[in-house]
Amino acid sequence: MSGSYDVVVVGAGSAGYSAAAAARETNDASSILLINGEDRSPYDRTQLSKAIADRTQSPAPPLHPDEWFVEHRIERHDGVTVDAINRTTSTLSAGSQEITYGSLVLATGAEPLFPKLVRPHERGSFYVVRNARDAEELQARAEKAKTVLIAGMGVLAVEIAQQLAKMGKRITLAGATPQLMPRQLSARAGELLEEARTGGKHKLLFQEEIISFEKNKKHSWSVEMLKHSSHFDMVVFCIGVEARTGLATAANLPTDAGILVDDHLRTEEPNIFAAGDCAQMPDGRVSYLWSEAAAQGRFAGMNAAGADEAYSFREFPLWTNVFGLDLFSVGKPRKPWDYRIDEFEHGNRYTALYWSQDDILRGAIVLNDREIAAGLETAVAEGWTRDRVRDELSVG
């Protein structure tokens, strides 16, 4: 792997893979190296929490066969860790190897947050799902478990709960929030999701926090919470992620919640870019959506290969299906009280629309109506007025 490349991409998740592909599309003559820290071909991370119950297939099928990378002349090295960036010489250190880059794209992603109560030596005592190896380890342990505590109420926690429920496990979800999926769903949509849970094997503990967990003599976990205590065979943490910025910080690149970039995904160093979960945009946003990471990676890869394209933010949607509900959410505001909200229910279908004060659609939530959801995705992206939404989509 030692040598010199026009474009080097560190990280092969959504942003890294997209950056390498876009760099090749932009400049057919560039030499491109994709450094993949994982031990397998790039895959769709969003599928990890959707395939745990199915032991007949890998939770991380590859996005492309290895031949695709050969055909596109993208040199890829798996299981490689980059140790340092030397900005002065435009080189990377990876073990005993040194790589020279013309342009560098950092797509180092994010890592799971750990509770403050967890000491470093205990981190092998519970489970998270961030990469394929995590999913495989959880899948294997779940075969022997009967009771599982999932800390978290977000989409990852809910998707994992559904998968473990399919395996016949008794699930408890515990989290600090008063509803399921508060970042994506309205209070009423959260209630509908709560009602949709099947059978009597689920327990929800809202506004709850784990105080301690200790292994007991039965090789399960004694868990103390603010208002409850119980024993569980497994504990899974889904309490969020944080940008992986260590490599950039060590190279004295400015970081905050993520690696600071401009609207071209360029860092302080003109030939170093960052994209995806590790990047912080000029407005302070760090996005942890797969689809937005892919879009950022595309622009970073194009610009690293010689283009000059500004990345324009748009709201990216969440689509998932859990407990028989088809869920769509896009642009749900963090401060919904600043918006006018319309809600509609008909049978098992639900729609919420978030309007700015000048009657522009800024966000939407839809349950069980993909046709309306697809139309509202466009309407939010293009900033439709209330009249246009009503006339063209018959909503509102």
With 70 as the cut, is the pLDDT of residue 120 above it? Answer: no
- Among candidate residues 237, 236, 258, the one with its CA nearest the CA of residue 247: 258
Task: Specify the DSSP class assigned to residue 315.
Answer: P
Over the stretch 79-93, which tens digit does the pLDDT of each residue have?
999 999 999 999 999
Count of positions (residues) in the chain: 396
> SS3 string of 331-360?
CCCCCHHHCEEEEEEECCEEEEEEECCCCE
State the chain's mean pLDDT as an integer: 93
Q: Which two tokens stand for residue 76?
A: 């890829």
Question: Dihedral angle at the C-alpha atoms of 288, 290, 296, 298, nearest 10 degrees?
Answer: 160
DSSP state of 68: H
- Give the chain's domains with CATH numbers: 3-111+241-304 (3.50.50.60), 114-237 (3.50.50.60), 331-393 (no CATH)
Distances (CA, A) of 69 to 21, 66, 178: 9, 6, 46
**E strand or H helix that includes residue 85:** strand 84-86
Backbone φ and ψ for 137, nearest 5 degrees, come out as -65, -40
Cα separation, 256 vs 100, in Å, equals 27
Hey, how many other C-beta atoms are within 10 angstroms of the C-beta on 61? 13
The yes-or-no verdict on residue 198 having pLDDT over 70 is no
pLDDT single digits (tens) 34-77: 999 999 999 999 999 998 998 777 778 898 999 999 999 999 99
**pLDDT tops 80 at residue 315:** yes
Residue 160: band (very low, low, confident or very high) from pLDDT cuts 50, 70, 90: very high
Give the number of other CB atoms < 10 A from CB of residue 17. 30
Nearest to 275, CA basis, from 254, 310, 299? 299
Q: What mean pLDDT is predicted for residues 212-225?
A: 83
pLDDT at position 314 is: 86
Cβ-based neighbours of 281, under 8 Å, separated by 6 or more: 261, 263, 287, 311, 313
pLDDT exceeds cutoff 70 at 216: yes
pLDDT at 124: 66
Q: What pLDDT, on the 0 to 100 scale, is given for residue 132?
A: 92
Rg (CA), the chain: 22
